[in-house]
Amino acid sequence: MSAGATFPVLREHAPEDVVIWRRASPVSAAELQARVHALARSLPRARYAINLCESRRNFLAAFLAAAQREQISLLPSSRAPLAVREIQDHYPEHHVLTDDVVEAAGAGAASTPLSITGSGPVAIVFTSGTTGRPSAHEKDWHTLLATAQLAHQRFLDGARRFNVIATVPPQHMYGFETTVTLVLLSASAVSDGRPLFPADVAAELASTPAPRVLITTPAHLRACVAAGVAFPALELIISATAALDRELAAAAERAWSTRVFEIYGCTEAGSMASRRTVQTDQWLTYPDARVETQPGGATYHGAHLPQPVPLPDRLELASPRQFRLVGRDADLVKVAGKRTSLSELTQRLLALAGVSDAVVFVPRPDERPAALVVAPGVAREEILAALARQLDPVLVPRPLILTDRLPRDALGKIPRAALLAAIGAVDE
């Protein structure tokens, strides 16, 4: 990391303020600081630290300790052994930080305040691999904080302190921004847990004091609404990683008397725009940011970013700051002269009675779509017949495979390799 400005960490927290809510023992700013310093002293010499911690307390301690030693944190999109091995092979000058390693370091006495110095990268974040092999993106602390500040102004302006509960891991860009940088720049706190099932989400919310903000995904939100679980008071829900259906957002707002917002973002740029789903299909960029379209796609320009970011989506602009998401070129399919989109086909499946989850994808270029469907108690033939009444026959997904659950990762996304494996296909 090159020399540069110094950025204080936990600057808004008093020493006794809770930073991480744990059911048995909340962690104060002073305790986290002591853990970071103790861990930093124990770290081996290396250029990179692979952060595999599942506990958010341990993740924060590991990330901040690595930064104190001017080590770049590598944040894998998956903890699967193969995914981790590929990163280890590509970055040989590394060590690995797990929950066990952080716990073993313990916590010493509180010492000097934490800060991060330098203008170089503090982390490398990897894409989720839903369209192929994950790609790596360097992140410097100045840009991370600037992006989180814009998110704070957009969603929580006027709220000095809030408590975040998240169903997403901190290793992903969305989770890192909302449960790490957003918390560190304010006087706020984050829950240590990462609940996955509806009852667990409800329990984690109940164990965390108000005001509460739930960070989640459409897949997790759909499961919670379907389960009909009761939530304590929620200031708001933020969803990302995939487009949220307006009916689902409305159902969540009714069920828990809250507001549901979406983030539009990508690993390359972080969060860029937002919308309240029940009110509009238009996205509004952050201040001092704009989008421009070209024949080959769109580009995001933000004053907080070091350079413009090409976007993978096709956008329809109402103004330089306001746009509608049309889709991705990779989402469009053409079979026997008939055109549609994978998202449209997936939504038609999800709208069928008895279907609780589904995904439509193209196994290989120029092939017809295939589908994985979760529909307990519904016969495959019933689903195919229902689709045949709505779609041209060549657009009805085949194979259509019923399964107990979709191979979603911790973000609710489905890596392409998992889709191909589910239908016995491989990339050529």
The per-residue pLDDT of the chain, averaged, comes to 89
Look at residue 289 in the predicted model and tell me its pLDDT.
Answer: 96
Q: What is the tens place of the pLDDT at every residue in 145-162? A: 999 999 999 998 877 789
Look at residue 417 in the predicted model and tell me its pLDDT.
Answer: 83
Q: What is the tens place of the pLDDT at every residue in 349-385? A: 988 989 988 999 888 877 888 999 999 999 999 999 9
Which pLDDT band, with edges at 50, 70 and 90, does 1 fall under?
very low
Look at residue 337 in the predicted model and tell me its pLDDT.
Answer: 66
Residues of each domain in the chain carrying CATH 3.40.50.12780: 6-280
CA distance 269 to 308: 9
Q: Which CATH superfamily is domain 336-422 in?
A: ANL, C-terminal domain (3.30.300.30)
CA distance 296 to 283: 20
CA distance 59 to 102: 9
Residues of each domain in the chain carrying CATH 3.30.300.30: 336-422
Q: What is the tens place of the pLDDT at every residue in 290-347? A: 999 988 789 999 999 999 999 988 899 999 999 998 876 667 777 766 777 888 888 8
Say whether pLDDT at 262 is over 60.
yes
Residues 286, 290, 293: CA angle, nearest 5 degrees: 140
* Mean pLDDT within 14-43: 93
For residue 221, what are the CA distances in angstroms to 228, 297, 390?
11, 30, 27
For residue 392, what are the CA distances in angstroms to 221, 358, 363, 401?
31, 19, 19, 19
The answer to whether domain 6-280 has CATH 1.10.30.50 is no
